[in-house]
Amino acid sequence: MIGVYGATGMLGRLVTARLDRAGAPTTLIGRSQTALDRLARADTSHRTAVAALDDPAALERAIDGCQVLVNCAPAGPGGERLVRAALDAGIHYVDAAGEQHHIRALFEKYDEEATQCDAAVVPALGFDYAIGDCLAHLAAQSHQPARDVVIAYAIDGSDAIGDNAHATMAAAKEVVYREGHWRTVPFELDRAWFTFPDPVGPRQMSRYGSGEVITVPHHVKTEAVSTLITSTSLCPYPALLPIFPFVRPIVGLVRRTPGRAVLAAVAGVLGRSTPHDEDATAENAAPPSHDDRRFMIAAEVHSLAGSIGRAVAVGGHFLDVTAALLAQGARWLSEGSVVAGVHSAATAFEPHAVLDALAADGVTWSQSD
């Protein structure tokens, strides 16, 4: 049995549909009985359970009989509560949240306990963290110790900037990994270029506070990890691109002051962020559209000896790929493919198997030295 928390939201419904197709029994968990009843009427085969994040007893009842808990809600303040509930029940946990502070907290607080419980805790199992994590692992195989690992995202599509812009501008806890340590983002010019394989080619890039900054140093011996994203993904106005590298460090400083609340509100408007309340959006949310959004994720590893390893993945719809990762990861864990402790995608599972499992969703990948 696999418990799906946030089952009434769009991601929760996509994950549940994939688990249904695979014949995996599920318990649908949410905060609203009304929203859960709507799902139950559509498919009476599911068990449902109401549980608020601040109700440990209800969470305990909801996941009773489950082997895995999938968190399809944002990490926020509730992510650790669900991890706590999973470990108290002695079951596995996965989520797609990529917030650096969330991932780092899980590694630091729960690794020993999860190992003792013989349970796996796997955060950041989403398209924009798990794929890069696996590519970095594969690219680094013959190139360690490394001087640096660069993971670069090329994102296309008219509405690709929404969540990225909001996360980049609203969060105040971003770190970088340099000289073998995590440290607060320094005040520096945010300008870089990265040459992707054809047909993308060279692109202007900006720093991306991605989850791999936390996960990759746990399995690749490297002095630095850099995660970059095409600047057009964060700055939707071409006329502003020339000054964007100069403005963004100032934005970073504001994020560390009380002014960050105002900045976050502006980011929400500019990023066109949608509500994260799965119950509020479940009934009216439109199904994901397979539009022109595409991604290319490239990992480049530079060894101290001077060699270079590369791996790249190309894919399509972001939400579909994230749902595929969560559903497949949950199934592997429920079937007994477990490495106890807190892990990223690359160490919880075989990296090449993770990438191969996305072929049905249009993701292709390659590796070269």
pLDDT of residue 60: 94
Say if domain 127-317 classifies as CATH 3.30.360.10.
yes
CB atoms within 10 A of CB 293: 18
The one-character DSSP state at 249 is H
What stretch(es) of the chain map to CATH 3.30.360.10? 127-317
pLDDT for 236: 57
User: Which numeric CATH code is attached to 2-125+319-346?
Assistant: 3.40.50.720
Does residue 273 contact residue 162 with C-beta atoms inside 8 Å? yes
Has this prediction a pTM greater than 0.85? no
* Burial (Cβ within 10 Å: 0-12, 13-18, ≥19) of residue 183: exposed
| H or E stretch covering 5 | strand 2-5
Instruction: Split the chain (369 residues) into runs of 10 and give each run's mean pLDDT.
Output: 93 94 92 80 78 91 95 82 95 92 94 95 93 97 95 71 43 81 76 89 89 96 94 64 52 42 43 43 43 80 96 91 96 90 96 96 91
Phi/psi at 35 (5° precision) = -65, -40
- Which residue spans of the chain are classified as CATH 3.40.50.720? 2-125+319-346
Beta carbons of 173 and 101 less than 8 angstroms apart: yes
Integer angstrom CA distances of residue 325 from 51, 94, 110, 251, 279 = 24, 10, 22, 33, 23
Q: What is the pLDDT of residue 344?
A: 96
Residue 68: which H helix or E strand, with range? strand 68-71
Q: What is the CA radius of gyration of the chain?
A: 20
9 phi and psi angles, rounded to 5 deg: -80, 170
